Amino acid sequence: MMNLTISGYMICSAFALSLAACDQKPTAESSPTVLEEMINNECPLANSSNWRAWLNRMPGPGEPKLHIIGDVEYSEPGLTASFSLGLLDRRRPPSQRIMMTVQKSDGAEEIKQSVKADFPALADDYQSIVIVCGDDLVATVTDIEVAQ
Protein backbone atom coordinates (compact mmCIF):
# COMPACT_ATOMS: atom_id res chain seq x y z
CA MET A 1 0.00 0.00 0.00
CA MET A 2 1.25 3.46 -0.82
CA ASN A 3 1.26 6.31 1.66
CA LEU A 4 0.68 9.72 0.08
CA THR A 5 1.67 12.87 1.82
CA ILE A 6 -0.45 15.96 1.42
CA SER A 7 1.97 17.42 -1.13
CA GLY A 8 2.03 14.11 -3.04
CA TYR A 9 -1.76 14.04 -3.05
CA MET A 10 -1.87 17.62 -4.38
CA ILE A 11 0.61 16.80 -7.17
CA CYS A 12 -1.42 13.75 -8.20
CA SER A 13 -4.65 15.77 -8.14
CA ALA A 14 -3.13 18.56 -10.25
CA PHE A 15 -1.86 16.01 -12.77
CA ALA A 16 -5.29 14.34 -13.01
CA LEU A 17 -7.02 17.68 -13.50
CA SER A 18 -4.59 18.69 -16.24
CA LEU A 19 -5.29 15.42 -18.09
CA ALA A 20 -9.04 15.94 -17.76
CA ALA A 21 -8.70 19.44 -19.23
CA CYS A 22 -6.97 18.02 -22.33
CA ASP A 23 -10.09 16.09 -23.27
CA GLN A 24 -12.26 19.20 -23.60
CA LYS A 25 -12.84 20.34 -27.15
CA PRO A 26 -13.99 23.91 -27.90
CA THR A 27 -17.42 24.34 -29.43
CA ALA A 28 -19.07 27.36 -30.97
CA GLU A 29 -21.08 27.73 -27.78
CA SER A 30 -18.07 27.53 -25.45
CA SER A 31 -15.72 29.79 -27.39
CA PRO A 32 -16.63 32.72 -29.64
CA THR A 33 -13.17 32.61 -31.27
CA VAL A 34 -13.33 29.06 -32.72
CA LEU A 35 -14.01 30.41 -36.21
CA GLU A 36 -11.11 32.85 -35.89
CA GLU A 37 -8.79 30.05 -34.75
CA MET A 38 -9.83 27.90 -37.72
CA ILE A 39 -9.16 30.77 -40.11
CA ASN A 40 -5.76 31.41 -38.55
CA ASN A 41 -4.61 27.77 -38.82
CA GLU A 42 -5.87 27.24 -42.36
CA CYS A 43 -4.70 30.61 -43.72
CA PRO A 44 -7.30 31.51 -46.35
CA LEU A 45 -4.87 32.89 -48.93
CA ALA A 46 -5.39 31.97 -52.57
CA ASN A 47 -2.08 33.54 -53.61
CA SER A 48 0.62 35.99 -52.57
CA SER A 49 3.45 37.71 -54.45
CA ASN A 50 5.86 40.65 -54.64
CA TRP A 51 7.19 40.28 -51.09
CA ARG A 52 9.97 42.72 -50.21
CA ALA A 53 11.75 43.56 -47.01
CA TRP A 54 14.10 46.36 -46.08
CA LEU A 55 15.89 47.53 -43.00
CA ASN A 56 15.88 51.27 -42.31
CA ARG A 57 19.00 52.22 -40.33
CA MET A 58 19.01 55.87 -41.40
CA PRO A 59 20.30 58.25 -38.73
CA GLY A 60 17.72 60.30 -36.91
CA PRO A 61 15.15 59.93 -34.17
CA GLY A 62 13.80 56.50 -33.35
CA GLU A 63 15.21 53.04 -33.66
CA PRO A 64 16.02 51.07 -36.83
CA LYS A 65 12.91 49.55 -38.43
CA LEU A 66 12.22 46.40 -40.42
CA HIS A 67 9.65 46.92 -43.18
CA ILE A 68 7.80 44.25 -45.18
CA ILE A 69 5.37 44.65 -48.04
CA GLY A 70 3.58 42.22 -50.34
CA ASP A 71 0.44 41.50 -52.33
CA VAL A 72 -2.08 38.94 -51.13
CA GLU A 73 -5.19 37.41 -52.65
CA TYR A 74 -7.70 36.03 -50.17
CA SER A 75 -9.86 32.99 -50.83
CA GLU A 76 -12.99 35.06 -50.08
CA PRO A 77 -13.96 38.71 -49.58
CA GLY A 78 -14.27 40.28 -46.15
CA LEU A 79 -10.81 39.30 -44.88
CA THR A 80 -7.80 41.37 -43.86
CA ALA A 81 -4.28 40.58 -42.66
CA SER A 82 -2.28 41.73 -39.66
CA PHE A 83 1.31 40.93 -38.73
CA SER A 84 3.35 40.29 -35.59
CA LEU A 85 6.97 39.51 -34.88
CA GLY A 86 7.75 35.85 -34.50
CA LEU A 87 10.96 34.08 -33.58
CA LEU A 88 14.39 35.44 -34.38
CA ASP A 89 16.74 32.49 -34.83
CA ARG A 90 20.32 32.37 -33.58
CA ARG A 91 22.12 32.26 -36.95
CA ARG A 92 24.49 35.05 -37.89
CA PRO A 93 22.93 36.94 -39.57
CA PRO A 94 19.59 35.72 -38.22
CA SER A 95 16.30 34.94 -39.92
CA GLN A 96 13.24 36.77 -38.63
CA ARG A 97 9.87 35.02 -38.62
CA ILE A 98 6.85 37.25 -39.26
CA MET A 99 3.46 35.85 -38.29
CA MET A 100 0.55 36.83 -40.54
CA THR A 101 -2.95 36.50 -39.11
CA VAL A 102 -6.02 36.68 -41.35
CA GLN A 103 -9.31 37.69 -39.82
CA LYS A 104 -12.76 38.80 -40.89
CA SER A 105 -13.14 42.55 -41.26
CA ASP A 106 -16.23 44.68 -41.75
CA GLY A 107 -15.96 46.69 -44.93
CA ALA A 108 -13.11 44.68 -46.47
CA GLU A 109 -14.69 43.68 -49.78
CA GLU A 110 -11.59 43.29 -51.95
CA ILE A 111 -10.04 39.88 -52.50
CA LYS A 112 -6.66 41.34 -53.58
CA GLN A 113 -4.82 43.66 -51.21
CA SER A 114 -1.35 45.15 -50.73
CA VAL A 115 -0.20 44.58 -47.17
CA LYS A 116 2.65 46.06 -45.18
CA ALA A 117 4.05 46.05 -41.67
CA ASP A 118 6.81 47.84 -39.75
CA PHE A 119 8.64 46.45 -36.72
CA PRO A 120 11.57 47.47 -34.54
CA ALA A 121 14.69 45.85 -36.01
CA LEU A 122 15.93 43.14 -33.65
CA ALA A 123 19.18 42.64 -35.61
CA ASP A 124 21.66 44.78 -37.54
CA ASP A 125 21.34 42.52 -40.59
CA TYR A 126 19.09 39.62 -41.65
CA GLN A 127 19.73 36.43 -43.59
CA SER A 128 16.04 36.12 -44.44
CA ILE A 129 12.53 37.18 -43.50
CA VAL A 130 10.15 34.22 -43.26
CA ILE A 131 6.43 35.05 -43.49
CA VAL A 132 4.11 32.42 -42.01
CA CYS A 133 0.31 32.30 -41.94
CA GLY A 134 -1.23 29.63 -39.74
CA ASP A 135 0.59 26.43 -40.64
CA ASP A 136 1.61 27.69 -44.10
CA LEU A 137 4.88 29.20 -45.28
CA VAL A 138 3.77 32.24 -47.30
CA ALA A 139 7.14 33.62 -48.44
CA THR A 140 10.84 33.77 -47.70
CA VAL A 141 12.59 37.04 -48.55
CA THR A 142 16.37 36.76 -48.81
CA ASP A 143 17.21 39.99 -50.64
CA ILE A 144 16.82 42.47 -47.79
CA GLU A 145 17.79 46.01 -48.66
CA VAL A 146 19.49 48.19 -46.03
CA ALA A 147 18.99 51.96 -46.01
CA GLN A 148 21.80 53.66 -44.06
- How high is the pLDDT of residue 96? 96
Check residue 36 and give its pLDDT.
54
Q: Which pTM value belongs to this model?
A: 0.69
pLDDT in tens, the chain (148 residues): 455 455 454 455 555 545 444 444 444 444 444 445 544 477 899 999 999 999 998 887 889 999 999 999 999 899 999 999 999 998 889 999 999 999 888 877 889 999 999 999 999 999 999 999 998 999 999 999 998 8
Among 144, 75, 138, 82, smallest CA distance to 115 is for: 82
Predicted local distance difference test score (pLDDT) of residue 108: 73
pLDDT of residue 81: 93
- Single out the residue of 25, 54, 78, 51 nearest to residue 133, CA to CA: 51
Q: What is the DSSP letter of 130?
A: E
